[in-house]
Structure 1
Amino acid sequence: MIQNPSDTRIKEILATKKRIAVVGLSDNPERTSYMVSEAMQKNGYTIIPVNPKVGEVLGARAYPSLTAIDVPVDMVNVFRRSEFLPEIAKETVEAGIDTFWAQLGVANEEAYRYLQENGVEVIMDRCIKVEHAKFK
């Protein structure tokens, strides 16, 4: 069963994890991934787009995968459907990223267990922008 960290811990994560690799970040301003990432960027977070179909989003170079990123990453934020989470979880571990966040409506038990077994802190089915706004 997926169990998210406490609100206190989520607040700590948001206060300390400032470089976010956003998997599935669209370059379309109408998409939720774009709006949420833009809001986080305006709140002082560094956004690192991960999308093999775009070159740049929100003024930042996009990477084709998590393992292709050549700068430090504090957290992964996922805007892909739940069935893609196991693959993204494996890539998160390969890339050595210790915090994994799946957006509202996105959760997967298999990915959750894998991440937990590999020492990655996991938040699923929560909107990072909404959680950030709770603690401002």
Structure 2
Amino acid sequence: MPNQNPDCELPDRDGSPEEIRALLGQHKVVAVVGLSSDERKPSYRVAAYLQSAGYRIVPIHPKATEILGMRAFPSLRDVPAEIGIEIVDLFRRPEALPAHVEEAIDVGARVVWFQEGIVNNEAAAWAAEAGLTVVQNRCMLKEHKML
């Protein structure tokens, strides 16, 4: 059935359970775009959980200098190449995703992950065309807990 609400886009690409299991097992460096220093925010809770599960978290925040004990960077392009970003986890509004997908492509990320409630099929298609794995509208914390 076609999506009846143009403001509520349904994902064209959201990753199969097998694909998600494989990428969470293979990739361990996660840049979290929109990571808040507020412990009550979902971005903080997801990143803290992933960090406790052994993932290296790279906070991306335009004003913060440190989050979760890790140096924060204003943008993906500001992260030193030797860190080797593998997954870009996006806690941003759908309309902001194209710019972040462009950055993810530029820094050589392997995966772009649009958190639960976030869908942008145009940005997802662009990322997929560039060779990135795309996951939309899924929570990394919830998916990891199902491993």
Shared topology, TM-score over 0.5? Answer: yes
Quote the offset at 1:39 in angstroms.
0.6
Between structure 1 and structure 2, the one with the greater Rg is: 2
Equivalenced residues, count: 135
Write the deviation string for residues 75-133 of structure 1: whole angstroms up to 9, x where unpaired: 10011111111111111111111111010001101101110111111001000000000
Q: Distance in 1 between matches of 2:126 and 2:135?
A: 13
Q: In the alignment, is the contact (CA less than 8 A) between 2:31 and 2:59 conserved in 1?
A: yes
Query: Structure 2 matches for 1:38-53, cutoff 5 A?
Result: 38-53=48-63
2:132 alignment partner, one of 96, 120, 124: 120
Q: Distance in 2 between matches of 1:74 and 1:116?
A: 15
Q: CA RMSD in A?
A: 0.9
Question: Which position in structure 2 is the counterpart of 1:131?
Answer: 143
2:19 alignment partner, one of 9, 21, 31: 9
Write the deviation string for residues 19-50 of structure 1: whole angstroms up to 9, x where unpaired: 10000000111111001100111111110000
| TM-score, structure 1 as length reference | 0.96
What SS class does the counterpart of residue 45 from structure 2 fall into?
Answer: helix
Identity of aligned residues (%): 37
Quote the offset at 1:4 in angstroms.
2.0
What SS class does the counterpart of residue 101 from structure 1 fall into?
Answer: strand
| TM-score, structure 2 as length reference | 0.89
Q: Distance in 2 between matches of 1:116 and 1:8?
A: 17
Query: Structure 2 matches for 1:3-82, cutoff 5 A?
Result: 3-70=13-80, 71-82=83-94
Query: Structure 2 matches for 1:101-112, cutoff 5 A?
Result: 101-112=113-124
Quote the offset at 1:5 in angstroms.
2.1
Question: Which position in structure 1 is the counterpart of 2:112?
Answer: 100
Q: Distance in 1 between matches of 2:105 and 2:132?
A: 7
Long gaps (5+) in structure 2: 1-10
